Structure 1
């Protein structure tokens, strides 16, 4: 978090000095008054300056959007973004002419970009935000694909009477597999392995 300590003859003057140095406005910062100062005798002798600590407030949505726009530009696939928030979940939809480049094979590039955006947003903050990055409705299409895969491999596990291991997936995709099979009392699902190779195992009951 960008912050600095400033002084002035009054609190207001100290805050204004900090705002000028940070090149921002008062509605974008948190102000902590360390010392309100003291006027001296005849306004001169014994004067004590006011001291304030001013910190720029983080805007997680703006931080996420800026990061994505910058990375996409550097990859040669500039995009436009549209964001929605729900609590600490930030949903960002990307559109652009070269969007396929940012999705990648099986969404690997999209997942990596989402992970990096989440790291950027949660750096230097005590509040954790979850980023969900989407493009061309990929997440919904991927969810349907994973649900179909879950049912198909559950049938395979029952048919061969053995455990079936899936390919490594990020945690939110593993949750889709677990949810798809939670009502199937003939199989059970577990996650195995360590990140980034953590995967689902479907086993007959």
Structure 2
């Protein structure tokens, strides 16, 4: 039951009645006052207040359902573990055939993450940033990128010229920038247009 119409002597009483029937709290619902009611005189001509109370959609729960739906169509039975820190949500996927969801160099996972980001922020008052991970892939990819950054920076110094990396999404470019930030012998910048935007390391 996600919606209920209730009545009471006052609007507050009607809302309270609806909350009890839905077994929820005021911050979890949308309230529409259909009739504010009327007190009447000495009990005559009084009219009860009527409200319609609807349980608000939980955007994170809805997004989990969306992920389940998409992964099911990809023939992957994924388990989802969700963590929320302030306005950042991480969906960690696990299960059999999870490699299908990662794809080559995480391209499938990145595409899915983009879709999940759109799904979570659709019709939502609060903006969330999203990380979609699968079997700890993001952590492993981060280590790979940090190692690549260091290797390519050494190459740029050795050749004494700019070195361009392959195109990668913004959050991966950020990892490269960050890992080379403390090095005084190279600088980094992004070049090109999406989806071909890439990092250039120069001595």
Shared topology, TM-score over 0.5?
yes
Structure 2-normalised TM-score?
0.81
Count of equivalent residues: 198
The aligned residue for residue 36 of structure 2 is 36
Judge conservation of contact 2:8–2:17 (CA < 8 Å) in 1: no
TM-score scaled by structure 1?
A: 0.80
2:126 aligns with 127
1:125-152 Cα offsets, whole Å, 9 max, x none, are 1211122111121111101110111111
SS at match of 2:93: strand
Aligned to 2:100: 101
In structure 2, the residue corresponding to 1:83 is in which secondary structure?
strand
Query: Where does structure 1 lack aligned partners over 5 or more consecutive residues?
Result: none
**1:94-140 residue CA offsets vs partner (Å, 9 max, x unmatched):** 11111010111101111111111111111111211122111121111
Post-superposition CA distance 1:64-103 (Å, at most 9, x none) = 3211111111111111111222111112221111101011
Q: Does 1:89 align with 2:78?
A: no
Alignment correspondent of 2:62: 63
Taking the aligned partners of 1:199 and 1:35, their CA distance within structure 2 comes to 59
Gaps of 5+ in 2: none
> Would the aligned equivalents of 2:4 and 2:18 in 1 still touch at CA under 8 Å?
no
What is the rounded CA distance, in whole Å, between the counterparts of 2:192 and 2:5 in structure 1?
Answer: 51
User: Which region of structure 1 is more displaced relative to structure 2, 158-167 or 30-39?
Assistant: 30-39
Aligned partner of 1:142 in structure 2 is 141
